[in-house]
Structure formats: C-alpha cells, structure tokens
Structure 1
Amino acid sequence: MKYRAVIFDLYGTLVDELRYPHRQEVKYQRWVSDTAAALELPVDDFRRVWADTSRQREEGEIRTRKAILAFLCDTLDVDVSDEQLNRAAAIALEYIRRALKPRNGVVETLARLHDEGIKTGLISNCLAETSDLWSSTPFPSLLDASILSCEVGMMKPNPGIYRLACERLGVEPSDCLFIGDGGSGELTGATSVGMDAVLIRAPGDTENGDREDWQGIRISSVEEILSLVE
C-alpha cells in the first residue's frame, strides 16, 4: 500500500468553500451584511477589519465568537451592547452550521478508505464556530484525527500543523497523501514536509492559492482519491 493515511482540507474539499462558487459567495455576502447590521457597523468597515484579523481568529488568539466580534468593534472604536454581540454571534454560528455539510461522495469515500485500512485525517484553517460545531457534524466518526487551526494555534502552511497531524495519526509525512483545494498555500506546505499532495478543483470552483501554478495531480471529486491509493 503506497499510503498509510490520507489527510484532507475541509472547506472547498470535504465541504463547499465558504465564499465560492457563486452560490456560496451570495451566502457569504449576506452573512457579512447581516452581521454588520446586527452590530450597527458599516459593511465595508466590517469586511476590512474581518479580513485584517484572520490570523488572530484562525490561530485561536481570539477564541470565542463573541470575543472576536467584540475585538472587531473595539478596533473600529464602536460601542456595542451584549445583546448585539449575542445576536451577531448567533448569525455567525448559523452560517457555519449550514456550510458544514459533506459534499456528495465524501461520507462514502471516507468510509471506503477506512475499509481499506487507510487512516484519515483533517487539517483546517478555521474559526471558533467550526470548532464549536464539529462534534455535531458527521466528520468526527469518519476521521481518525482532526486538526483545527483555532484549537492548535497554527495555520497552514506552517510545517508544524502537518507534523502534528502525522503525530496524531501515528504515521510519517512520507506515508501521507494530502488533498486540498489549494487555499493558504496548503499544497506546497504539505509537500515541504514530505507528503504527496493533490489539488481538488470541483466544477465551478475558482482559482486561488496554489491552484494557478500547481503542477501536480488534479482531481475534480473526492471519489477520485480511491484510485490514487490503490
């Protein structure tokens, strides 16, 4: 067997991306507008500060939904009530809840990998909402290790987050195949520690991250992984 483990990205790989394709972009913009309205913030200001604080949020420096939103308001020097923060936090949680639905074929593919004796893991750059909702999704029972950036204080493409996944799976990087949509330089991050990597680009997905210049294997659905590990 060529690989002892397959490690997946989350958004854009096991579930739809949060912002693309178009249907997700519409949902994202609605979330931005609704959250900004709940906090009585100008949409453009909210969007700008949200983007500027991605590292603090995704590495768990600011841990809870409410604390993240309070920090954004403080950054903009805007006073908000506890009720407003609670309302905005609830909007954020619901947005992520709706996003955490497996793509077609994902559950079956993960189960098949287990049947083949191949371990499965996940590395995701994500926010507190994903961590809070994780146990309510189908994924924990289908994955042998789930590494969420907001819980471990590291983000892809930091080599440490890939090594941590290997440690929890009990494998070496050379034993692993990493599958991702190319965001955050995750594919080059995986290969830098000795993993093989594959780009997944579903129909309608847009170019970003490693995608534009990726010279390695490309697939268009999760099911195609099975032919790569046989």
Structure 2
Amino acid sequence: MNPRAVLFDLYYTLVCEREDNPFYETVAGELGLALETFRPHYNACGRPTMRGELDGMVGRVTEACRLAGHLAAPEAIIDVVERNMELFYGSVFIYGDAPDTLRRLRAGGFRLAIVSNASPYSEEVLRRSGLVADVDDIVMSYTLGTLKPDPRLYTEACQRLGVSPGDAIYVGDGGDDELEGARRIGMGTILVDRGLRHTDAARRFADRECKRLGEVVSAMTDLTSTLPEARRAAYR
C-alpha cells in the first residue's frame, strides 16, 4: 500500500475536553436547573446537534431545557450560553504531540483532513487549537447532516483531498464505530488507544494501534508494507 492521505478524528484523537469542564454546571445553575437534571438531557441532544438538527450550543441548551420540562426565555438562554462559552473553550486542550505528528506527515507528502462528528461550535475549538493550519481540509458532520460511520463523511474528505478511500488511512480513538466505517470502504485504520470505554470494541477494526499520536508516523510505515491490497482495490 502506498497511501496518499490520512484522515484524523478530532475529539479524543487530536483534542480532548476536560472531565471537570465548568461550563455545564454554570449554565445549568444560571438557568435555574440542577446539573444532574440538565446534563443527561444535554448529552441526549449531542447527536442531533452534530447532525445539524439543533442550532449550535444555544439550540442544544434550549432543547435540553425543554426536555427537562424547564421553561426559559430564549433571550435568557442566548445570554447565558454566550457569556459562558469561554468556559467551554477553555476546557478543551490539544494533545501535545498532535501538531508535530500532523507536520511530519505533511512533510512526508501526505494530504491531511480532519473528519469529525462535531457541532458548529467545534469550528472555534479548531481555530483556537491552531490545527487548521496543519491540515488540508476539514469535514464536520453537522454540515452534511449525518454521523460517522456513515461512509459519506469519509468519502467527502477523500474527494476533497483528491484521493480514493483505498489510498487513505483513518486515525481515531475508535468512538462512534468510526474505524469500522473506514474499513468498510477500504481504508486502512489506526487506533489511538486512549483507554476509553469504547477502545476494546474498536480494536477488531484497527489495522494498527498506537498509545500516542507520535507513534502514528511509524505505524504508517508498517501499514504501508502489510495492508492487503485486495481489501483496498475495489475502492480505487
């Protein structure tokens, strides 16, 4: 295999959100809700937001309040969310070896893209991370109205990079069945093992595993020489 492109997941692959993010408790409290009431409904609104069915963070919080049976004025929700978004952004950090990994791959001639199940506010997460400058394109689920493992997300990224899926590698932490989706259309896969609850289930769809992003470059070299040609040929 001679891959020409690498597609990266975003959350828990390149960036991570702190578990103690104060945004949720602050927003819930200012809107008159207990965190334990607000958070489950907020979480339930994640996938609709990432499909673009809810309008960003304001839409997600609004729907969470509705599901909790809590009536809050739209202008109050907008005010609370906008005043506290800095808490959210300040709780998302970039893995230290992410920039160097991306730059080494680009220096090696690979085309790079980020493919993420993500909401509109992830655009600002990316801007602040500085990773935008290190990739050639970004595909976010909310812009296509679907989520990984839908092949449309992977194929859209490959089309933008000018490669076929059979000439691309997908790198991710394995959430949302993303590795299975990538393999289904002929891509090679690398699991970044973050020790998350979905990690073990994702292993069977990984061609290679890494403990750190910095190991991806060497894993790419190994994968190039061993990935079966037959699995990729149909997708060229």
- TM-score, normalised to structure 2, is 0.84
Q: Which residue of 2 aligns with 1:153?
A: 145
- Residue identity matched to 2:196: T
1:142-187 Cα distance to aligned partner (Å, 9 max, x none): 1111111122212111111111111111111111111111111111
**Offset of 1:49 from its aligned partner?**
1.3
Report percent identity of matched pairs.
26
CA shift for structure 1 position 226: 1.0
Q: Is contact 2:9-2:171 (8 Å) kept?
A: yes
Q: Is the contact made by 1:9 and 1:181 (CA closer than 8 Å) also made in structure 2?
A: yes
Aligned residue in 1 for 2:79: 86
The answer to whether structure 1 residue 189 and structure 2 residue 178 are counterparts is no
What does residue range 1-230 of structure 1 map to in structure 2 within 5 Å? 2-16=2-16, 18=17, 24-27=18-21, 30-81=22-73, 82-99=75-92, 101-202=93-194, 205-208=195-198, 211-212=200-201, 214-215=203-204, 216=206, 217-230=208-221
Q: Classify the secondary structure of the residue corresponding to 1:214.
A: helix
Distance of aligned partners of 1:194 and 1:139 in 2 relative to their CA distance in 1, 3 Å threshold: same
Distance 1:170 1:94 in 2: 38
Instruction: Name the larger-Rg structure.
Output: 2
Mapped to 2, the partners of 1:184 and 1:122 lie a distance apart of: 15
* Secondary structure of the corresponding residue to residue 12 of structure 1: coil
Give the partner amino acid of 1:207: R
CA shift, 1:137, in A, is 3.1
Return closer, same or farther for 1:41/1:85 CA change in 2, 3 Å cut-off. farther
- The 10-residue stretch of structure 1 (87-96 or 177-186) with the greater mean CA deviation from structure 2: 87-96
1: CA distance, partners of 2:144 / 2:86? 20
Residues in 2 aligned to 1:70 and 1:151: alpha-carbon distance in whole angstroms: 20
What is the rounded CA distance, in whole Å, between the counterparts of 1:77 and 1:191 in structure 2?
42
Equivalent position SS for 1:179: strand
Say how many residue pairs are matched: 218
Q: d(CA) in 2 for partners of 1:199 and 1:134?
A: 21
Q: Secondary structure at the match of 1:25?
A: coil
Q: Distance in 2 between matches of 1:176 and 1:90?
A: 41
Q: Is the CA contact (8 Å cut-off) linking 2:101 and 2:217 kept in structure 1?
A: yes
For structure 1, the 5+ residue unaligned runs are 19-23
User: Cα distance 1:149–1:94, how it changes in 2: closer, same or farther (>3 A)?
Assistant: farther
SS in 1 for 2:96: coil
Q: CA RMSD in A?
A: 2.0
8 Å CA contact 1:199, 1:211 repeated in 2: no
Q: Partners in 2 of 1:25 and 1:12 — Cα distance?
A: 12
